[in-house]
A and B are shown apart, each in its own frame.
Chain A
Amino acid sequence: MGMTITEKILAYHAGKERVEPGELINCRLDVVLANDITAPVAITEFEKLGLNEVFDREKVVLVPDHFTPNKDIKSAEQARYVREFARKYGIINYFEIGRMGIEHCLLPQEGLVLPGDLVIGADSHTCTYGALGAFATGVGSTDMAAGMATGEAWFKVPETIKFVYYGKMPRWLSGKDLILYTIGDIGVDGARYMAMEFTGEAIRELSMDNRFTMANMAIEAGGKNGIIEPDEITLAYVKQRAKRPYRLFQSDPDARYAEVREYNVSRLEPQVAFPHLPENTRPVSEAQGITIDQVVIGSCTNGRLEDLQIAAGIMKGKKVHPEIRVIVIPGTQEIYLEALRQGLVEVFIEAGAAVSTPTCGPCLGGHMGILAKGEKALATTNRNFVGRMGHPESEVYLASPAVAAASAVLGRIAAPWEVIK
């Protein structure tokens, strides 16, 4: 019996020939990640252990991205705590404001996560790196502390659900639409404790930025990880960034899957997830006309260059609807700079949008675009739970950058073909 890519990566890091779903194993870690919210708790726990050093100064990665640039004194204190820890323990991959980005946009860009890696991050969207053919999963701060101390973590080998996407992608369809549709199909706990393997001809055609978006939202279906087998597109992305060797794993043809689900993408419409769960998805044609107060384009889900290019392509020469506000947040400083060079930032500002420095900001109701009571936002982010972006009586709709940009222009939820004929 063959193994899935997830099983192979876990087996390799456990030093075993093979592993079975349900087995409890101890694995070596390639990257241990935390941010300005989760690192402080992890540091407090780490220091209780009474150790003088972290297991590897290069493999611990700290990115203050959630409440930065610091929004108030308390968040500044937390960021300082992380900064001082990084200095004290000589953490090499600590990223300061001005040189940083949203962690899950930043780590692949910097070549810190590579195919075949095993990564834990004290952030639920750590599953993003599965797009590179790595096993990456979110953990809490205590697992992070243990990981910093030992370079190891325990795992229960998950069963895998295989998602096969076939057919040709229509013009405005994106990775965001595929993953929203999938979550709508299986529900927010449809892949609970399980690996989600995305495959099929439509996935093979997807750009890396779209693949990151898909793997990023595996957690929104309860998944332990989302993963895509590495191919030429992965290698083209990785080659220019990698500073160390990496391993390419593929699922065996006779690998065992708990379930196989197939989707024909060729007739799929862009998707919109209605409040208050990512599983409440409908085609955009059923959402057209819903008025909104704010559009957010950014986040670890959709703050990459291609996302900004698509949004700018729709907004170019147009104006943001007078009754709404639009906030664009490039995912990293590198993406921001490239967006400037390509004239995208100019498009957004001329249209009347605010462009922010990289931050998780409004996605988690932190800062930079909090909603008032009764307000509605359409966002390219990943969660639309009650109160997620602000007041408990505000609402969030989730969609792709194309739908977000069209909605920004028309002041209501809109399909991209309403703006670009």
Chain B
Amino acid sequence: MEFKGIAHKFGDDVNTDYIISGRYKFKTLDMKELARHVMEDLDPDFYSKVNKGDFIVAGKNFGCGSSREQAPLAILNADISAVLAKSFARIFYRNCINTGLALIECDTDQINEGDELEVDVEKGVIRNLTQQRDIPVKPLPRFMLKILSDGGLVEHFKKHGTFNFD
């Protein structure tokens, strides 16, 4: 899982209601439609700014709040390749792995809005091409990487016929 794109920066404690507001998230199971409203209350133009492969880059506790998977699914369907944050709320973290949205914990102070990044999730490498430096990464546990690289928990099950993670 290697990605290249532009960083879109956000602050601390971005909750799931910011990621996709309750006004939309129950109305439809069409994730492409939901994706149009992703991060809308923080940045009304966000969806139109994103190009395929771009990154959401945030501070601490990204994804706090509700357990609804509409949050990572809306991000995935907005063509964001990965979320980089100082830390993640735990249900959101789990949901990303399970739905196949790549996420990485790292010091995001080393990334500015608009920086071009190259990210290798499996190897745990973030290269800030704009600032010409590598950012150290806390790698994902091996079995989570396996679920992620299979495309999420359901695809993982279909491939292996079990949820045994060894």
Contact = CB atoms under 8 A, between A and B. Distances in A.
Contact of A193 (B65, B90, B154): B90
A110 interface: no
Contacts of B90: 192-193, 222, 224
A386 B68 contact: no
Interface stretch (B1-9, B26-34, B49-57, B129-137): B26-34
Interface stretch (B108-116, B117-125, B157-165): B157-165
B23 interface: yes
Contacts of B66: 123-124, 364
Nearest to B22: A365
Q: Which of A75, A126, A193, A222 has the most CB of B within 10 A?
A: A222
A386 B163 contact: no
A75 B25 CA distance: 11
Nearest to B72: A140
B79 interface: no
Contacts of B67: 38, 121-124, 126, 138-140
A39 to B, nearest CB: 11
Q: Which of B25, B65, B90, B153 has the most CB of A within 10 A?
A: B90
Interface string B81-102: 0000001011100110011000
Interface in A202-232: 219, 222, 224
Contacts of B41: 386-387, 392
Nearest to A390: B23
Q: Which of B23, B87, B91, B153 has the most CB of A within 10 A?
A: B91
Given A74-B27, A385-B65, A387-B21, A277 B13 contact: yes
Q: Which of B25, B41, B67, B98 has the most CB of A within 10 A?
A: B67
Q: Which of A123, A188, A388 has the most CB of B within 10 A?
A: A188
Interface in A154-184: 154
A189 B89 contact: yes
A392 B22 CA distance: 11
B165 A364 contact: no
Interface string A99-138: 0000000000000000000000111101000000000001
Contacts of B61: 188-189, 192, 222
A386 B152 contact: no
B64 interface: yes
Contacts, number: 133
A26 B65 contact: no
B51 to A, nearest CB: 26
B15 interface: yes
B22 A154 contact: no
A149 B69 contact: no
Contact of B89 (A37, A142, A222, A277): A222
Interface of A: 24, 26, 37-38, 40-41, 44-45, 48-50, 66-67, 74-75, 78, 121-124, 126, 138-143, 145-146, 149-150, 152, 154, 188-189, 192-193, 219, 222, 224, 277, 364-366, 383, 385-388, 392
Interface of B: 13, 15, 17-18, 21-23, 25-29, 41, 60-61, 64-70, 72-73, 87, 89-91, 94-95, 98-99, 141, 143, 152-154, 157-158, 163-165
29 contacts: A24-B165, A26-B163, A41-B29, A41-B73, A48-B154, A48-B158, A74-B26, A74-B27, A124-B65, A124-B66, A124-B91, A139-B67, A140-B69, A142-B69, A142-B98, A143-B153, A146-B153, A149-B157, A154-B163, A154-B165, A189-B87, A219-B91, A222-B64, A222-B89, A222-B90, A277-B13, A366-B26, A386-B17, A388-B17
